Structure 1
């Protein structure tokens, strides 16, 4: 069960508000782990498992990105408003408003991994470490790999998906049931779905403004403002020690994550053999062990005041 928050509330972001939740003491010596959720257009709920890090002594900050959850909802804003730079500015503002910009670690999951990596490219002095979890380095790569995964679905499921996509009946119960086959394979393999995961899933549908505008109707059809977005050519700018996390059955396949490993100099990659897109839920004990190990490495690095070479990834190589 997630730990109870030690504080929660909102901070101003221009004329809007960003909701946050703190577990532990963010002003203690250890860096706060700031959790950047996926979507775009999801909420923090499905990542509450990370509060376990507070039991190990690392304070944890969750927040809801603008447009969803406890943050300001803006259902009348269009594509010209919902830009990557908006969410990058919101993250930087949150760090400043909470007073942790001089000592923090970023954990970005799915879309949040791209957003966290974009932040790290600016080389902020207070960023101690970066975790990119289940996150493609580009949406064109994501879409090409989606086609690969869809081709592995049962023929009747593929036929159902294609038929409803041609008719644009994305809300049909039959279509949603076919989508569920994909989700159970490549998004969350725990059945029934955990409560926290369901909470975020339902939040998207309660207000789909951000998801529909930036992504599209579902995981298969990124037709929104992100459809051509890639950070591959900018990854060389990251100098922060980085941990990559993915699942063996992840919709963020190794092909979509390989650019992080190829281009970030100080990087390690952990692949969870019994997980898909949510190792923090699917293999929670090992996930916490890996995260705590990485955080301890960062602490040792700071104590020695010199870079620590990180291990090679499980099952992957630079060559």
Structure 2
């Protein structure tokens, strides 16, 4: 079960555009590398929810992506591309000498994980895609369906504010709040690591890559779709999704059908954060997958990735 743990090691790594701060837990022979969502969020919520995997003998590594948390915060929007972030992940893996990793990507971190897996296939032992998607135009259609559940008048109001650029209006923000509590985290009180990450959100990367909020995509990845390429990701893959997730079970199913070796688990009482919303159900699934599909024999096969 998740709990907040102090890292055993904190280290800076130079990447394109500055340096990032990494957090390492445990000393296991196998490493789980975490890529958190956002973009623009510090890694607190994913780091603190998954560092408990040290209890199962893994080393767990997380880092504040460039522009977030304790990492450097440049303001050049040209840095906010998924290609640069792929290079950032590889710089961290190489600098910390991690070898082949169990790569866990959640939300935006899942998009980044898919792109990384296609670019550096030999760097992976397994892939875990949590609450994510690989086809943004399809996701936008799904988000439209979720918005429609608010009612036609509310949707019309949201569309008007989006057209006029008045997204800070209280009635628009009220609708976004309802959607967040339905489809981002369904807990009455959001956990402290989530609140810390959200309280230090850098909107520069977020707006450049995604858009103004979780339900409006206008950024440079609005047309991103890697479904046609995912057959090239051959490592064992676990896909997890909440029944009420903003990145819906339909998005998860598209990825499963595109991957040659994938398992999919849907958590019925969760939205975008099953590791907080249903930890007693979530963690046994994750630990079982890693134990069954990420054995040391695969590490030997991929030793050349180090």
What is the TM-score normalised by the length of structure 1? 0.88
Could you tell me which residue of structure 1 aligns to residue 93 of structure 2?
A: 95
**Maintained 8 Å contact 1:161/1:179:** no
Match of 1:69 in 2: 69
SS at match of 1:68: coil
Alpha-carbon distance, 1:162 to partner: 3.3
1:110–1:303: structure 2 CA closer, same or farther, 3 Å change rule? closer
Equivalent residue in structure 1 for 2:23, among 9, 21, 24: 21
Range 244-253 or range 295-304, more displaced: 295-304
Q: Cα gap change, 1:22/1:259 in structure 2, threshold over 3 Å: closer, same or farther?
A: same
Q: Which runs of 5+ in 2 are unaligned?
A: 302-306
Q: How big is the shift at 1:59?
A: 1.4
Q: State whether residues 134 and 225 of structure 2, in contact with CA within 8 Å, keep that contact through their aligned partners in structure 1.
A: yes
Offset of 1:122 from its aligned partner? 3.4
Counterpart residue number, 1:241: 236
Whole-angstrom CA distance in 2 between matches of 1:4 and 1:295 = 23
Of Structure 1 and Structure 2, the greater helix share is in 2
CA distance in 1 between counterparts of 2:12 and 2:241 reads: 31
Gaps (5+ residues) in structure 1? 307-319
Distance in 1 separating the partners of 2:294 and 2:251:
29
* Equivalent residue runs for 1:257-268 within 5 Å: 257-268=252-263
Q: Is the 8 A contact 2:249 2:266 kept in 1?
A: no
Aligned to 1:222: 217
The secondary structure found in structure 1 opposite 2:58 is: coil
User: Who is 2:304 aligned against?
Assistant: none
Deviation at 1:303, TM superposition (A): 7.5
Contact preservation (8 Å) 2:137, 2:224: yes
Provide Cα deviations, 1:274-301, integer angstroms capped at 9, x if missing partner.
Answer: 1001111101122111111011112447
Matched ranges for 1:47-62 at <5 A: 47=46, 48-62=48-62
- CA pair 68-190 structure 1, distance change in 2 beyond 3 A: same
Q: Distance in 1 between matches of 2:267 and 2:114?
A: 21
1:184 equivalent to 2:181? Answer yes
